[in-house]
Amino acid sequence: MNRSTPLCSGRIWASSLATFLSVGLWIVSAFGATQEIAIFKSADLKAYNQAVTAAKSAFGPAFTFLEMNLKGNLERGRKLARKLRASDVELVLAIGLKAALAAKLEILDVPVVYTMVLDPARYNLIAPNITGVLLDVPIERQLASISEVLPYATRIGVLYDPNKTARLLAEARHHATAFGMKIISREIQTEKDVPEAARSLLTHVHALWLLPDSTVLNEDSLRFLLDTTLEVNIPLIGFSTELVRSGALLSLSVDYKEVGAQAAQLSKTILSGKVSVPYQVISPSQVKMALNLKTAKFLGLTLDPKIIERAHERY
């Protein structure tokens, strides 16, 4: 029986190793080394988790992730962000307001992409290394949908706290004329002002449009507005599917998974060098409409069947 000599075996082993290394180097060259992304999450909320899961899937196998949970604490976030300075992460994906604020304050030399933040302009989320994907549906698009669903509605009521939603109201007034609409508003200083202001407003409008304003909306005031608008036969326009499920006629909102995936795609574009930060924040690419057909029937409204068919969710 022939036996391989030690020298022959060594040559075979060396040849195999060389082949393995050359193939490995070719793979790295062809597909690129993995890149590490820090995922900065404001809290352990279902909506945030949906965005994170979708983002990780959209990044793909060429990326690894360092995940950090602020647990709702901005100061904790700042401490975690300072630790990132010594890491090799190439980009920070901030999910939620507190994560975005912590990243803005502490991360200066790595790109930061945020999402799941309502009205980021209010919080001045602007820096040379920051961009993001908006959670807000553009005001103009919301007005277009109100006009389409309620073509007779030319006077639109809004309750607002000037310290929270004055900018959104000003933007709404700016765009309303293009749709033949007039925005009629009542200023709210505290949640106790809501009932009186709403009653005085509802006699002058065709629909009441809710902005994401925490002074105007809490559990009690929302129930009051839902009940009162039905009593006076005025449609209530919301900003979330949950509001429509509760009785509002219409809402436009974003899908949390979609904005998470969109934020990942923007991040990949930045890392590829195709765009650089600062980069203009981008609107959500997909918006979903919800309609409450029971509310429409109660109000005596006949909605266009084509609009009903387009709605992503119907109740």
Query: 222-236, pLDDT tens digit by residue?
Result: 999 999 999 999 999
> What pLDDT is recorded for position 23?
41
Q: Which fold has domain 35-135+256-286?
A: Rossmann fold (3.40.50)
Strand 155-160, strand 112-115: pairing: unpaired
Domain with CATH 3.40.50.2300 in the chain: 35-135+256-286, 139-254+288-314
How far is the C-alpha of 132 from the C-alpha of 162, rounded, in Å? 25
For residue 170, the tally of other CB atoms under 10 A from its CB is 11
Instruction: Name the pTM for this structure.
Output: 0.77
Query: 121-166, pLDDT tens digit by residue?
Result: 889 999 999 999 999 899 999 999 999 999 999 999 999 999 999 9
Cα-based torsion angle of the residue sequence 182, 186, 191, 196 in order, rounded to the nearest 10 degrees: -110
How far is the C-alpha of 117 from the C-alpha of 134, rounded, in Å? 7
CB 289 within 8 A of CB 311: yes
Query: 87-112, pLDDT tens digit by residue?
Result: 999 999 999 999 999 999 999 999 99
Mean pLDDT over residues 259-285, rounded? 92
10 pLDDT more than 70: no
Tokens of 175: 């765009």
User: What is the phi-psi region of residue 32: left when phi exceeds 0, alpha when psi lies from -120 to 50, beta otherwise?
Assistant: left
Query: 26-59, pLDDT tens digit by residue?
Result: 443 344 568 999 999 999 999 999 999 999 999 9
> What pLDDT is recorded for position 32?
53
192 pLDDT more than 90: yes
The least confident of 168-182, 254-268, 274-288 is 274-288
Which of these, 284, 217, 288, 210, lies nearest to 253 by C-alpha position?
Answer: 288
125 to 89, 97, 112, 305: CA distances (angstroms)? 21, 9, 11, 41
Looking at domain 139-254+288-314, its CATH superfamily turns out to be: Response regulator (3.40.50.2300)
How far is the C-alpha of 85 from the C-alpha of 2, rounded, in Å? 61
How far is the C-alpha of 181 from the C-alpha of 200, rounded, in Å? 19
19 to 13, 15, 27, 194: CA distances (angstroms)? 10, 6, 12, 74
> What pLDDT is recorded for position 275?
83
Burial of 121 (0-12, 13-18, 19+ CB in 10 A): middle
Strand 287-291, strand 250-254: pairing: antiparallel
